[in-house]
């Protein structure tokens, strides 16, 4: 029977190819839609983990800039500063658990800088949001004039970079995070202060009158156990008029809403595509079996059982669906996996591909769904063809 199935498929290449293309489109849609949603969710959870703080405190004027969230969440270049004395004052407030300062600096497109990039400094003694990511990739501490580069940057361990004429050494490269970390450079507090001073010396820093040793860019806070976020956030905003305390969850609420919307749309579209493809397959196989009525009538007349006819039809349908589905999966992997960075940039949302295991499971699920659609479609046609009146068809001459 296998020979009959293969011969039936190959002797009608146009019809078989059209059905394979439909199966490929179905598996591609299911696979791509599922991977997109999972990647967006992983990127969002990675972003939450990356922030690692309940509250972010920035200069008030920075909070009014429309690009603040782009700097913090999207990795756009930018910087702002406030007096470092605020760090000790806020640390002494009730409800403050962990607290640490971060320092921002944007390199420029000029001969003094290797690449225009956002540079973030942290305090190794108190940081709780950046070092966990670095330890996953490097495991050790960062020495003076060492930097860690994001996964998407064209720089590698052992390279030497220059920022504002100051050379630094790449000590580690981050694993992929699906967030702005992938396009940023990180270093410790002493190094970032040296780089800020270098930018001041070259008059390439708009804050020309600051002392690089007495400023921070933002303060990250984790609220102590037993306190609500508002118990710390509200007093900061009341007592420090030049500062703005922002709940980090509010910063990413827009991304969360966008993710929920994208997930719903992707889910609905995938379901619709599956149903439409199933309908098209049913119609296609019904038309095809209608054209082959005499062929099946002859097989019945020479002794082929209804079960054997059903087996032939099901075998053709499953084989065509499997081959088409595999082609669709391969195409989906070639489109999504190598171009995840471009997809992230076009969506403007955190995007982190699942691990190899999850991708493999998704591929198997997409393959099964596409094959199931083909099996259901041909099953309906097989049921109809095996109920035909053989004698009437042969006598009619159709």
- Both 135 and 229 in one domain: the answer is yes
Average pLDDT in the 371-386 region? 74
- Both 88 and 41 in one domain: the answer is no
- Both 26 and 85 in one domain: the answer is no
Tell which residue, 102, 179, 191, has the closest CA to residue 142. Answer: 191
Cα distances from 233 to residues 43, 127, 240, in angstroms, run 27, 19, 11
pLDDT digits (tens, 9 = 90+) for 110-141: 788 888 999 999 999 999 888 877 777 665 67
- pLDDT value for 46: 67
Tell which residue, 314, 301, 303, has the closest CA to residue 381. Answer: 314
Say whether pLDDT at 78 is over 80: yes
Which of the pair, 13 or 226, is modelled with greater confidence? 226
Cα distances from 183 to residues 1, 82, 148, 342, in angstroms, run 57, 25, 11, 13
The residue among 203, 218, 250 that closes a domain is 250
Rounded distance, CA 186 to CA 104, Å? 10
Number of domains in the chain: 2
Quote the distance between the C-alpha of residue 176 and its chain's center: 11
Cα distances from 325 to residues 373, 374, 380, in angstroms, run 11, 10, 20
- Both 40 and 61 in one domain: the answer is no
Q: For 256-270, 271-285, 345-359, which range has the lowest pLDDT when averaged over its residues?
A: 256-270
Six-digit token string for 227: 């306190």
Rounded distance, CA 126 to CA 258, Å? 33
pLDDT digits (tens, 9 = 90+) for 215-266: 999 999 999 999 999 999 999 999 999 999 988 877 666 666 666 777 777 7
Alpha helix positions (H), the chain = 2-10, 13-51, 60-63, 68-69, 85-91, 131-137, 189-201, 229-239, 248-251, 253-291, 293-301, 306-336, 340-347, 356-385, 390-396
Average pLDDT value for the chain = 81
Rounded distance, CA 298 to CA 394, Å? 8
- Both 128 and 197 in one domain: the answer is yes
- Both 17 and 54 in one domain: the answer is no
- Both 23 and 56 in one domain: the answer is no
- pLDDT value for 393: 46
The residue among 250, 281, 305 that closes a domain is 250
What domain range is 344 assigned to? 2-46+255-396
Confidence tier at 2 by pLDDT (50, 70, 90): low
- pLDDT value for 162: 95
Say whether pLDDT at 286 is over 60: yes
Which of the pair, 127 or 177, is modelled with greater confidence? 127
pTM of the model: 0.66
Rounded distance, CA 27 to CA 326, Å? 8
- pLDDT value for 137: 65
Average pLDDT in the 185-200 region? 95
DSSP helix/strand/coil, 209:
coil
Say whether pLDDT at 394 is over 60: no
pLDDT above 90 coverage of the chain, percent: 33
């Amino acid at each position: 029977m296998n020979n009959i199935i293969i011969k039936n498929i190959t002797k009608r290449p146009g019809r078989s190819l059209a059905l394979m293309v439909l199966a490929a489109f179905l598996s591609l849609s299911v696979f791509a839609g599922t991977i997109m949603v999972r990647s967006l969710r992983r990127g969002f959870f990675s972003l939450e983990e990356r922030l690692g703080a309940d509250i972010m405190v920035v200069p008030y004027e920075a909070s009014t800039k429309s690009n603040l969230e782009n700097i913090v969440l999207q990795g756009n270049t930018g910087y702002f500063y406030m007096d470092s004395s605020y760090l000790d004052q806020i640390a002494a407030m009730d409800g403050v658990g962990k607290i640490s300062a971060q320092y921002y600096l944007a390199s420029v497109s000029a001969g003094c800088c290797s690449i225009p990039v956002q540079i973030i400094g942290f305090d190794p003694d108190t940081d709780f949001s950046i070092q966990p990511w670095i330890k996953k990739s490097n495991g050790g501490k960062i020495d003076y004039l060492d930097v860690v580069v994001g996964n998407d940057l064209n720089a590698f361990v052992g390279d030497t970079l220059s920022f504002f004429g100051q050379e630094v050494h790449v000590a580690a490269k981050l694993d992929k995070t699906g967030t702005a970390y992938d396009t940023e450079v990180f270093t410790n507090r002493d190094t970032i202060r040296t780089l800020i001073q270098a930018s001041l010396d070259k008059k390439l820093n708009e804050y020309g009158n600051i002392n690089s040793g007495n400023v921070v860019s933002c303060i990250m806070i984790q609220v102590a156990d037993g306190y609500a976020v508002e118990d710390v956030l509200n007093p900061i905003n009341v007592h420090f008029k030049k500062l703005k305390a922002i709940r980090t969850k509010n910063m990413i609420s827009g991304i969360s809403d966008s993710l929920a919307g994208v997930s719903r749309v992707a889910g609905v579209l995938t379901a619709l595509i599956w149903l439409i493809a199933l309908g098209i397959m049913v119609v296609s196989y019904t038309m095809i079996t209608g054209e082959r009525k005499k062929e099946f009538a002859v097989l019945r007349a020479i002794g082929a059982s209804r079960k054997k006819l059903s087996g032939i039809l099901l075998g053709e349908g499953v084989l065509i669906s499997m081959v088409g589905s595999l082609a669709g999966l391969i195409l989906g992997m070639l489109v999504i996996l190598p171009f995840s960075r471009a997809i992230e940039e076009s969506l403007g949302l955190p995007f982190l591909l699942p691990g190899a295991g999850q991708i493999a499971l998704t591929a198997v699920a997409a393959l099964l769904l596409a094959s199931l659609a083909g099996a259901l479609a041909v099953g309906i046609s097989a049921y109809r063809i095996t109920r035909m009146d053989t004698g009437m068809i042969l006598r009619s001459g159709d």
